[in-house]
Amino acid sequence: MKKYCYGICFLISVAINISFGVNLYIGDGPNQEISCRSSLTWSEKAAAEAEAVAAISCSGHGRAFLDGSISDGQPVCECYGCYSGTDCSELSPGCAADANSGDPIYLEPFWMQNAADTAVVISGWHRMSYEYADDPMMSPELDKYIRKLHSVAGNAITQDRYIVFGVGSSQLLSAAVYALSSQNSSSPSNVLASTPFYHLYKDQTRLFNSKNFVYRGDTNSWQTNNTDVIEFVTSPTNPGGELKKSVTGGKTILDHAYFWPQFTPIPGPSDHDLMIFSLSKLTGHAGTRFGWAIIKDKDVYDKVLNYIYLANAGISKDTQLRVLKVLKVAMKADGKPFFEFAYNQMSDRWNRLTSVFSKSTRFSIQRRHPLHCNFFHQTRQPSPAYAWVRCERQEDNDCAAVLNAGKIIGQSGSTFSAKDRYARLSLIKSQDDFELLMQRLTELVSLENHNIEMI
């Protein structure tokens, strides 16, 4: 960056000063400051540091971060899986494709393309208080934009509903169970989910080991007449990507983490009593732990709010500021640029994935059913975040192990309380990860078609 800048700094700055002079007459609010570089004072050092780190080349196979470990006075590249070297340029041959985690890096390019609009500058004295002026824990501005977002995406009713922020949707899952559970310890509520389901439902309920509720396993195995049921409904499902409804008719926690136009057609706005959404799968900012619950009933709202307050006195104000900025950009032009970018990423990946699996008899993936999407105003195939792979051969009863032998790392079915004949492959990681996954899958399927057995 320096060498480009050095030669032309002088001319640029002259031009800047002229444009600044003009701005004095045509300026309109804070933005008029922007072209006056000389107006920057206390924020400039941090801005220069951030740009210097962003300019460190990691060959597109990694990133340098402000809080990365330092070498020679500069943060070092953190390379994506299978890449190494100071600039992440070295691909390690025979490296396994890691499709294990739900790390939503597939949206990183969008945020890089929108760098200027999504950067956030936080002053040293930004919101030191526990409270906002008009709310003890939650940013009223952010609440407002979340409601706008749902009306733009058309995926949830927020009118006359309460919204509570949580540390990721994960915290809200347990807060919701507490809020819906029996207050009578002698008859705890029964927590259920339909297999295959996200392991956290079971793990959290068991960890808290509360007198108020107990984990009872799969909805299908629930035969008693006990109606005090709290059912986790994931819609779209993880894994699978199907839209679901409650099967028990009990109290329901709608986990809508994946209910966004890039993953599923949106048939219409969800209107359930307790719906949970997550920034992670919407914008890809998993590292920014932020989720929200939309709640119909005042008493349930008060209990969820009390849980968040007592557990950790709310969500970091820095995080809420960043989320506000990110959502404002995602909602530009009624969300079209953002959701189209995200959908195109996912549908391209699904097109390539299905063409590989279409050549296989050994492996199958979930069927997808087209639906009309009210956001895109088209009938579209879902493009779920995960492939749910079934190993068809009788002997392949540990599908994750079979894939692993083919240098593909996935999650075994039992992680989702399903059979190990199934395995989950993540499709939302970085482009590098996806390309390697395609390569390994192609190798695996071609071996099959050449009748060469896996070792």
Instruction: Tell me the closest approach of the beta carbon of residue 181 to its own copies, in angstroms.
Output: 9
Residues 118-147 that bind its own copies (CB under 8 A): 118-134, 139-142
- Residues 149-188 binding its own copies (CB under 8 A) are 166-168, 170-171, 174, 178, 185
Closest CA to 264 of 283, 239, 236: 236
Residues 360-419 binding its own copies (CB under 8 A) are: none
Taking the complex as a whole, the smallest distance from the CB of residue 2 to its own copies amounts, in Å, to: 6
Q: Are 446 and 433 in contact (CB under 8 A)?
A: no
Which of 89, 92, 99, 107 is in the footprint of its own copies by CB under 8 A? 107
Element (H, E) at 174: helix 168-180
Interface residue with its own copies among 20, 83, 197, 338 (CB under 8 A) is 20
State the nearest-atom distance from the C-beta of 134 to its own copies, in Å: 8
Nearer CB in complex with its own copies: 58/157:
58
What is the distance between the alpha carbons of residues 230 and 251, in angstroms, rounded to a whole number? Answer: 5
CA distance linking residue 388 with residue 400, whole number of Å: 11
Q: How far is the CB of 320 from its own copies (least distance, A)?
A: 7
114 touching its own copies, by CB under 8 A:
yes
Q: Fill in the amino acid letter for 131.
A: E
**Minimum CB separation from its own copies for residue 21, in Å?**
7
CB 293 within 8 A of CB 304: yes
Which positions ≥6 away from 434 have C-beta within 8 Å? 106, 349, 427
SS3 349: helix
CA dist., res. 165 & res. 393, Å (int): 46
8 Å CB contact between 295 and 303: no
Helix pair angle (200-208, 168-180), 10° resolution? 60
Choices 33-41, 262-270, 375-383, 400-408 (CB under 8 A): range interacting with its own copies: 33-41
Taking CB under 8 A as the criterion, the residue among 84, 204, 248, 360 binding its own copies is 204
Of positions 112, 267, 344, 379, contacts its own copies by CB under 8 A: 112
CB of 85 to its own copies, least distance (A): 14
Q: Residue 312 has which token pair? A: 């950790």
Cα separation, 274 vs 232, whole angstroms: 10
Residue in 28, 160, 299, 453 binding its own copies, rule: CB under 8 A: 28
Task: State in angstroms the smallest separation of the CB of 183 from its own copies.
Answer: 9
Which string of x and - marks every residue 208-237 that binds its own copies (by CB under 8 A)? xxxxx-------------------------
> In this structure, which long-range contacts are made by residues 135-139, counting pairs with CB atoms below 8 Å and at least 24 apart in sequence?
136/309, 136/314, 137/165, 137/305, 137/308, 137/309, 137/313, 137/314, 137/315, 138/163, 138/164, 138/165, 138/314, 138/315, 138/320, 139/317, 139/320, 139/321, 139/324
The smaller minimum CB distance to its own copies, of residues 242 and 340, is found at 340
Nearer to its own copies, 39 or 344 (CB): 39
Residue 445, token pair as written in the block: 């399927």
φ, ψ at 70 (rounded to 5°):
-100, 140
Site for its own copies in 276-335 (CB under 8 A): 280, 284-290, 306-307, 310-322, 324-326, 329
Provide, rounded to whole angstroms, the least separation between the CB of residue 455 and its own copies: 31
How many residues in the shown chain lie near its own copies by CB under 8 A?
A: 132
Return the number of the residue (119 or 401) whose C-beta is nearest its own copies: 119
- C-beta of 10: minimal distance to its own copies in Å? 5
Query: Among residue numbers 66 through 85, which ones bind its own copies (CB under 8 A)?
Result: 66-70, 72-74, 78-79
Q: Between 122 and 405, whose beta carbon lies closer to its own copies?
A: 122
Q: Which is nearer to its own copies, 279 or 391 (CB)?
A: 279
Residues 234-253 touching its own copies, rule: CB under 8 A, are none
Give the one residue of 104, 240, 241, 261 binding its own copies; rule: CB under 8 A.
104
22 in contact with its own copies (CB under 8 A):
no
Going from the C-alpha of 222 to that of each of 77, 167, 191, 266, the distances in angstroms are 51, 31, 10, 30
